[in-house]
Structures are given as C-alpha cells and as structure tokens.
Amino acid sequence: MRIETVTSAQNPKFKDLLALQEKSRLRREKGLFVVEGRRELMHCLEAGYRLRTVFWCPDILPAPELASLLQGQDVLRVELTRPLYEKAAFRGGTEGVLAEVEWKTRTLADLQLPENPLLLVLESVEKPGNLGAVLRSADAARADAVILCDPLTDLYNPNLIRASIGAVFTVPTVAVSSQEAIKWLKANGINIYTAQLQDSALYYETDLRGPSALVMGTESTGLTDLWRKAADRHIRIPMLGRLDSLNVSVSASILLFEAVRQRQK
C-alpha cells in the first residue's frame, strides 16, 4: 500500500485533482474522472471501475474505515490536510474521501437486456443536476438502461455524479447519437414512446407492458422531429395548470413508475 501526504495546494497531484473536477476536456483526454463521497465510491467499485488515486482526510475518515471502503485495493492513497480536503470537496456534508477513477466507455452492444426491457432515453439534456436526478429515478424504478442521445454534458461530470448519488454506476448508461439509438431500438424490437404534448395520448392510457423506451427531450425545446417520426406512440402527461412543461426528472419519474405499475398487474 502506497501512502503520500499533501500539505500544499501547489502540489501537482492536488492541482490535477481540481482540474479534473472542473474541465470536461481534461477528463476525456486523461480518461479519468473524480468521485466524491463514501456511498458514491462504494457503488463505483461495485460496478467494476478501477481507481487511480484516492485522496482522503484522516480527520474526517479514519484510516481503518477507508481501508474497509477500498475493499483491499492496492491504490495510491494521498492524505490531505483538512483545509486542502475542504478546498477540493464540493459537498457541505463532506465524507472525507475523493478518488480519481479510470473512465469506462459502454456501448449499446454492451447492454445486457432482459426479455421485456424498460429503458429511458434522453435527448440533448444538458444540466448535470437534471441528469443525475433522472438516473436516481431510473435506479428506483429498476430501469434496465438509460441512453443519453447527443448529450451536452459528459457522463462523468462531478455535478452529475453527486446529483445521482452514485446511480450513474448502478444503472447501465450509454451515450450515443439519436440516429444510433433509434436504429438499435428498432433492431431489438423495443417500442419507442416519445413524451410530447402534440398529437399524443395520455400516458396512463398507453400500454407500457411490452419492451419500452420512454423518450424525453429538453424542457425548453422538447424532442426533435427525428424522434417524433421514429416513435411508435406519442404520450403526454396532462398539464392542468398554466405552465406547459415539467422538469425532465419529474417527467421521467412519472412515466417510469407508470410502466412499473402496469407491469406489476
């Protein structure tokens, strides 16, 4: 086991850690991303990701607890002073550990689906917080996969990982183009249900018991015509107030759990 101690913000390892948190381009170039928190790191390890470096503050997380969390992995452990850890950590209720993790790219071909899959598809959703919340809903509903089409943020954005509370590791998630996703869904006999207000049926009057992909777009512009034309059915959530849209994570939860409800009958 290798242990180093860092006491200066000018230390190259510490500066690299901060840069990975802030720069998507650097994450892609290095094939690394940052995970913060015990629960998130546990889910990350359970999903088979490889750690590169672990940064921890012994004032917050005692060494025996860190060793238990790391499950015997032989990884460089960098001890940080409390001021340095608090500079690097985003969360107020800090837990004493951050890790640099090796990027893992999953493709559509990697997805192992059951006979009657339930998928969630998001087109061009850009806010990491929204994506993280959607992944939490997908985990809660035990969706078989989430497909991010033409994403405007990378899957390993620290805000996304934090907002998902580690669900980015518990739900198989793939980033592809809309064209690739449509071709794959149709080739695998998965029904495409697009959430849209125009020319649509109420979601609870739509049969979601078969192989299903629930497709949603951004709150501001909705889905592109590519998805509308590819859909097997258009569905909508009734809007009874003066506004005409819901947060995408709320919409995802409603549709996912309606599919769960129907499948439990």
Cα 36 to Cα 12: distance, rounded to the nearest angstrom? 19
Model confidence pLDDT, tens digit, residues 14-67? 999 999 999 999 999 999 999 999 999 999 999 999 999 999 999 999 999 999
Question: What is the predicted pLDDT for the residue at 85?
Answer: 94
Q: Could you tell me if residue 37 is left (phi over 0), alpha (psi between -120 and 50 degrees) or otherwise beta?
A: left
Cα 76 to Cα 6: distance, rounded to the nearest angstrom? 13
Say which CATH superfamily domain 3-102 falls into: Ribosomal protein L30/S12 (3.30.1330.30)
Question: What is the predicted pLDDT for the residue at 27?
Answer: 94
pLDDT in tens, the chain (265 residues): 688 999 999 999 999 999 999 999 999 999 999 999 999 999 999 999 999 999 999 999 999 999 999 988 889 999 999 999 999 998 756 689 999 999 988 899 999 999 999 999 999 888 899 999 999 999 999 999 999 998 888 889 998 998 998 999 999 999 999 999 999 999 999 999 999 988 899 999 999 999 999 999 987 677 899 999 999 999 999 988 887 778 899 999 999 999 999 999 7
Question: What is the predicted pLDDT for the residue at 221?
Answer: 73
Question: What is the predicted pLDDT for the residue at 94?
Answer: 66
- Ranges of each domain in the chain: 3-102, 108-263
Question: What is the predicted pLDDT for the residue at 245?
Answer: 77
Question: What is the predicted pLDDT for the residue at 93?
Answer: 63
Model confidence pLDDT, tens digit, residues 162-173? 899 899 999 999
Pick the CATH number of 108-263 from 3.40.1280.10, 1.10.150.530, 3.40.50.300, 2.40.50.140: 3.40.1280.10
